[in-house]
Amino acid sequence: MNRRHALRHIALISGGLALIPSCDFSKEDILAAYENLKVTASQKALLGAISDTIIPAGEIKGALNLEVPDFILVMVNDCFTKENQDKFTAGLTAFPDYVQKTAGKKFEALSTKEKEELILNGTKLEGDDTPEGKERGNLSYFLNSTKRFTIQGYMASEYIQTEIIPYSLIPGEYNGAVLISDLQKPRING
């Protein structure tokens, strides 16, 4: 590992100018996402609560600590088609009523276990062409997209890739026949 780190160091020196990263998002992009997608303050809080249910904080930080909701909204704003953006925001808008109807409470009032069940069930909803079916489709699209981007934004975050599972720019010489039984992996407890 020391050798690899040393090599990365050399790469960094030789690539000197490339070193100052414009890390994560600019404030402008985040603001643009909120504005374009018309996300309200309460919706932002809800998205935070959902992402924190998907990957909660523990010994290791969770999604909300890493501002994953901002990542989700920038991705939806920049990388989705207009049609999919509409499905996403329709699902986000419909979510509070869905929670009220299925659980009889607001999302914040649910226990962790109830929140998890509700989201997991929501990702499995199937849509159809009826108005109710469309809403189910939007809800599951919203929850599945949110789960996918939460995982991506969390795992590809500076925190995870530097402090928890350091990403190596120098992966080392190829070994084409490594016995899995010889690999020793530390157990990382979330």
Binding site for another protein (CB under 8 A): 7, 11-12, 14-19, 21-25, 29, 53-56, 58, 60, 62, 74-75, 78-81, 112, 116, 119-120, 147, 151-158, 161-162, 164-165, 167, 169-181, 183, 185, 187-190
Question: Min. distance of Cβ 124 from another protein in angstroms?
Answer: 11
Determine the Cα–Cα distance for residues 85 and 75; give it in Å rounded to an integer.
10
Determine the Cα–Cα distance for residues 174 and 77; give it in Å rounded to an integer.
39
Max Cα distance, the chain (Å):
61
Question: Min. distance of Cβ 138 from another protein in angstroms?
Answer: 19
Question: Min. distance of Cβ 97 from another protein in angstroms?
Answer: 21
Comparison of 40 and 84: residue with beta carbon closer to another protein? 84
Question: Min. distance of Cβ 170 from another protein in angstroms?
Answer: 5
Comparison of 5 and 128: residue with beta carbon closer to another protein? 5
| Long-range pairs, 59-65, Cβ under 8 A, ≥24 | 59/189, 59/190, 60/164, 60/188, 60/189, 60/190, 61/159, 62/154, 63/150, 63/153, 63/154, 65/159
Comparison of 41 and 183: residue with beta carbon closer to another protein? 183
Which residues contact residue 153 at a Cβ distance below 8 angstroms, ignoring those fewer than 6 apart? 63, 66, 68, 71, 72, 75
Comparison of 6 and 130: residue with beta carbon closer to another protein? 6
Comparison of 41 and 177: residue with beta carbon closer to another protein? 177
Q: What angle do CA 54, 57, 63 make, to 5 degrees?
A: 50
Question: Min. distance of Cβ 75 from another protein in angstroms?
Answer: 6
